[in-house]
A and B are shown apart, each in its own frame.
Chain A
């Protein structure tokens, strides 16, 4: 699904009183509470039937790294919850290419299917939103 979906879709959103929400995830998991808090806000937003898009850039791409095992650190592993997003009809997940590369990662390292976009494309995506919330 393209982010720029044309006038017809825009009219439908106006009728249903739906806004385009973009959640920008920029922090690594566990070191701070931002990633977990963002995830909870995203899940709650799904209850309001809004048009939700998630972007992962900078250290935010690390939230989606496969194979997280937190047992020894005594923290809760919340990475499986990203797999539940599909069931909440949150299916627009975008990851920044440059951020992945800088961290030695590829889309194969991630635990959910995502679309990889360049910095340029993510900038354009931000421009198309009604509301941008950054974590």
Chain B
């Protein structure tokens, strides 16, 4: 049996670590459902990072490593948001891993 996340009555396939298998299955509801399973309600600050990740993936076809993400977020959203501390407060399980999962992206390359 394969793992799945239930979104609006539909089961979408995820891998053993909870990442969406088909990128095209993603919608904001997927992010919300995954966060709810983790006991988290997504705020506009969360969405800012999730949307940033989706744009990064669209441009470069990879999910960025945390160091790269922090630097790029700082450049785009201001230095107070471009810090590991800020991102870990939003995504306590690790910003690259957790936020990428909510964004429907694969696990970041170089994530160890």
Q: Do B61 and A81 have beta carbons less than 8 Å apart?
A: yes
Q: Are the C-beta atoms of A87 and B71 separated by less than 8 Å?
A: yes
A81 and B65: CB pair below 8 A? Answer: no
Question: How many residues does chain B have at the interface if contact means C-beta atoms less than 8 Å apart?
Answer: 13
Decide if B62 touches A46 in the complex (CB within 8 Å).
no
In the complex, the answer to whether A87 meets B68 with C-beta atoms within 8 Å is yes
A66 at the B interface (CB under 8 A): no
Write the nearest CB–CB distance from B109 to chain A, whole angstroms. 5
Contacts of B1 in A (CB 8 A): none
A40 touches B59 (CB 8 A): no
Roughly how many angstroms separate A71 CA and B71 CA in the complex, as a whole number? 31
- With contacts defined as CB atoms under 8 Å apart, how many contacts are there between chain A and chain B in the complex? 40
| Closest beta carbon of chain A to B34's beta carbon, Å | 23
Chain B 32-53 interface 0/1 with A at a Cβ cutoff of 8 Å (1 = within): 0000000000000000000000
Residues of B within 8 A of A84 (CB): 59-60, 62, 64, 68
A18–chain B nearest beta-carbon distance, Å: 16
B60 near A88: Cβ-Cβ < 8 Å:
no
Bound-state CA distance A44–B107 (Å) is 13
Q: Which of B3-31 contact A (CB under 8 A)?
A: none
Stretch at the interface among A25-33, A50-58, A72-80, A127-135: A72-80
| Contact present for B60 and A43 (CB under 8 Å) | no
The answer to whether A87 and B62 touch across the interface, beta carbons within 8 angstroms, is: no
Expressed in whole angstroms, the Cα–Cα distance for A40 and B61 within the complex equals 12
The distance from the CB of A81 to the nearest CB of chain B, in whole angstroms, is: 5
User: Inside 8 A of B62's CB, which chain A residues have their CB?
Assistant: 43, 81, 84
Establish whether residues B67 and A80, one from each chain, have CB atoms under 8 Å apart when the complex forms: no
Could you give 18 example pairs across A and B, Cβ below 8 Å? A44-B109, A44-B110, A46-B65, A46-B68, A46-B110, A47-B67, A47-B110, A76-B61, A77-B61, A80-B61, A81-B61, A83-B59, A84-B62, A84-B64, A84-B68, A87-B60, A87-B72, A88-B65
Write the residues of chain B forming the contact surface with A, with a CB cutoff of 8 angstroms.
59-62, 64-65, 67-68, 71-72, 109-110, 112
